Structure 1
Amino acid sequence: MFGFSFKPRNKGKSAQTAKERLQILLAHERGGNGSSPDYLPMLQRDILEAIKKHVHVERDAVDIRMERDDELSSLEINIELPGGRTVQSSASS
């Protein structure tokens, strides 16, 4: 009618990209020398910037932790959202 073409947003694409990036980070950490990963502050900053596109959160509202044992590496992300809600995400490989 108006000649506009609306493209549907591919919401799954960004989630899949984030999952792939986390898997790469975990694989990199698994091959590391056991020291604390130096990329966690950068990762926290990038995650915070991505979240801020949708909702205002403070820098200290994002907590990222990495745990590793012989067979499993996990990255836990806790985000305190406005209104007292907390979102928890965990990626394991």
Structure 2
Amino acid sequence: MSIFDFLKPKKNTAETAKSRLQILIAQERSSASAPDYLPLMRREILEVIRKYVVNVDIDEVKVDLVKNGDQDVLDISVSLPDRGSAATGD
């Protein structure tokens, strides 16, 4: 240990850990604030899409609630397969 070691700023690992924990908690709260009906809505949207287009995976349907100022905006994104996969008939 050098005589000048006391002049170096000490790392405050407790403060760093606290900051990281606060970030994690904030992320959890933001995802937990999403309405409970979004997963059900996502599955129902997928069921309707599958009536007209085959081979659509549930992971290709994204439903999110986005805050835009004082308004909530429902953001729905669906990735459809190539045209060759479209259902025929009916």
When normalised by structure 2's length, the TM-score is: 0.51
Give the whole-Å Cα distance in 1 for the aligned partners of 2:41 and 2:53: 18
The alignment partner of 1:36 has SS state of: coil
Instruction: State the match for 2:78 in structure 1.
Output: 79
Which one has a bigger Cα radius of gyration?
Answer: 2
Q: Which runs of 5+ in 1 are unaligned?
A: 1-33, 85-93
The alignment partner of 1:67 has SS state of: strand
Richer in helix (by share): 2
> What displacement does 1:69 show?
4.2
Give the whole-Å Cα distance in 1 for the aligned partners of 2:33 and 2:81: 34
- Coordinate RMSD, CA, aligned: 2.0
| Identical columns (%) | 39
The alignment partner of 2:34 has SS state of: coil
1:62 aligns with 2:38: no
Richer in strand (by share): 1
Give the whole-Å Cα distance in 2 for the aligned partners of 1:69 and 1:80: 24
The alignment partner of 1:82 has SS state of: coil
* Aligned counterpart for 1:42 among listed residues 40, 43, 47: 40
Question: Residue type matched to 2:35 in 1?
Answer: P
The one of the two structures with greater contact order (alpha-carbon pairs below 8 A, sep at least 6) is 1
Query: Where does structure 1 differ by over 3 angstroms across 4 or more consecutive aligned residues?
Result: none
Give the whole-Å Cα distance in 2 for the aligned partners of 1:72 and 1:42: 22
